[in-house]
A and B are shown apart, each in its own frame.
Chain A
Amino acid sequence: MNNSAPRSIDQYLRQLREELAGADAALIQDALYDAEEYLRAEVAAHPDKSEADVLELIASTYGAPDEVAAAYRDTEVKVKAAMATPRKEAKSAAGRFFGIFLDPRAYTSLFFMLLALPTGIFYFVLAVTGLSLSAGLSVLIIGVPFFLMFMAVCRVVSLAEGGLIEAMTGVRMPRRPVYQGKALGFWARIGEMLKDPRTWTTIAYFILRLPIGILYFVIVVAGLAVSLSLIALPIIGVLAQAGWFGMSAVDVFSNAQPEWAFKTEFGIPILGLAGVLLLTSLMHLARGTGRLHAMFAKSMLVARTASSITEAAEPKAALAAH
């Protein structure tokens, strides 16, 4: 350890952040939040002592930053291992291709893409209304409180969006908000907020979410409509042959175009097969999109720590030397 013992809450949090460098950004945010809750409560519980005196004892009660960092890394590894659904990897290419139907993430990602339109509209309206009203009201006395309220709402909504993404795609997102220290004055805090790049990336994310949401929604609706109707074709043919519609299969498809597909013997089965392939591809696309979107959301919504966001450090690497 080349770090000296922390003498203030800020120093402690900085050292903890350093110790956690390379870990998942969401994990770092949670760990810092927990530590801050404890340290502030501990300082508040000893009004007779100075912050430095309280922190002197922290290493023996809460634990030194390196110990705490190791605890978070270990627990995260264990939880990941325990929560991960054991997946049977199919060996053959066809098995891997169609195995997507057994992956719950594919279905939830598909649902997320559908949900992306309504939530996208909400985020867009929130961001545009908030920004324009903040700008418009900034000349009045209520402009500043309004901007603060807008920021607070944005933080809560971004946390909710993170929760939604984590539930749907399984990518770790923060479960705690970033806590802004109370030490700063009112104007200083507003200044910090304006300087914090995360404020602006969050708003940019909310605005971008509408076009992205439209794209996702269209892909899913069009993909589902086309693939499911193609799959329905041979079923309708078989049902018609069995006399369900009171006419033969030839008559059911008599007006259908193009002729090469509907008037030949193999046309309809081939279209049905194409539907199955299209639906399977759509599921793969959904799962991939879910993962990509989660990475994008993490880069926009989660505070950048130290130099860069390191994507989910592998558990083995994360196991710090004890």
Chain B
Amino acid sequence: MDDSNGRKFQKELNGGLVGLVLLAVLAETNEDLYGYEIAKRLASANDGTSIFKEGTIYPVLRALSAGELLTSRIVPSYAGPPRRYYRITEQGRGVLAEWKVIWRGTRDFVDRFIETKALAGGHSS
């Protein structure tokens, strides 16, 4: 991912994916999570490096919260400023279910082309 083409492509892909992943992370846990904790969970799920920059999840969390897909509360912290803890709402679960279907459809559609091409081209480098 050093070349700027790759980075740009990754960034464009991430546009909608960050929201989907955040909803999924919050949907599968019963506890409330704050930004840093969510970022670390994403990173640890992928050998310590997140696909997207952790700084980009905060504005998305806030946007999801403004769209009432998440609720949040503020808790004081010793390590720094008060933390904002997030929890998924019923509406958020509904949207997540919908997005999951869209994502699977999109993934399968894209795979259909990429996989056949890989098969046709044989393995390269």
Q: Does B93 contact A (CB under 8 A)?
A: no
Q: Which of B53-96 contact A (CB under 8 A)?
A: 53-56, 58-60, 62-63, 66-67, 77, 79-84
Does B20 sit at the interface, judged by CB under 8 A? no
* A-B contacts at CB below 8 angstroms, number: 89
Q: Output the nearest chain A residue to B34 by Cβ-Cβ distance.
A: A37
Interface of B is mostly: helix
**Could you tell me if A38 and B67 are in contact, using CB atoms closer than 8 angstroms?**
no
Does B43 belong to the interface (CB within 8 Å)?
yes
Instruction: Please encode chain B, from 45 to 57, with 1 for each CB lying within 8 Å of some chain A CB and 0 for all others.
Output: 0000110011110
Query: Which single member of B49, B67, B79 contacts A60 (CB below 8 Å)?
Result: B49
Which chain B residues border A51 with CB–CB below 8 Å? Answer: none
| Chain A residues with CB under 8 A of B36 | 37-38, 41-42
Which of A33, A37, A61, A75 lies in contact with B53, CB distance below 8 A? A61
- Does residue B8 face the partner (Cβ distance < 8 Å to A)? yes
Q: Which residue of B lies closest to A71 (CB)?
A: B56
Residue in chain A with minimal CB distance to B78? A44
Count, chain A residues at interface, CB 8 A: 34
Complex: how many Å from CA A185 to CA B55?
Answer: 29
Name the contact of B55 in the complex, choosing from A38, A41, A76 (C-beta under 8 A).
A38
Q: Is the CB of A71 within 8 A of B55?
A: yes
Interface size range on B against A: 20 to 34
Q: A71-B55, A79-B66, A175-B62 are in contact. Are A40 and B50 (CB under 8 A)?
A: no
Contact assessment for B63 and A40 in the assembled complex, using a CB-CB cutoff below 8 Å: no
Q: Nearest B residue to A39 by beta-carbon distance?
A: B80
Assess A67 versus B81: contact at CB under 8 Å? Given A38-B58, A76-B59, A175-B62: no
Q: Is B59 a contact of A41 with CB atoms below 8 Å?
A: no
Q: Are B53 and A68 in contact (CB under 8 A)?
A: yes
Please give me the residue from chain A that is nearest to B66 by CB atom: A79
Q: CB-CB contacts of A76-96 with B at 8 A, as 1s and 0s?
A: 101100110000000000000
The answer for the CA separation of A93 and B82 in the assembled complex, in Å, is 50
B55 touches A40 (CB 8 A): no
Q: Smallest CB-CB separation from A35: which chain B residue?
A: B55
CB pairs A–B below 8 angstroms (8 shown): A33-B81, A39-B80, A40-B80, A61-B39, A75-B60, A75-B62, A78-B63, A179-B80
Report the 7 A-B pairs with minimum CB-CB distance, sorted nearest first.
A40-B80, A63-B53, A179-B81, A68-B55, A75-B59, A63-B55, A34-B58
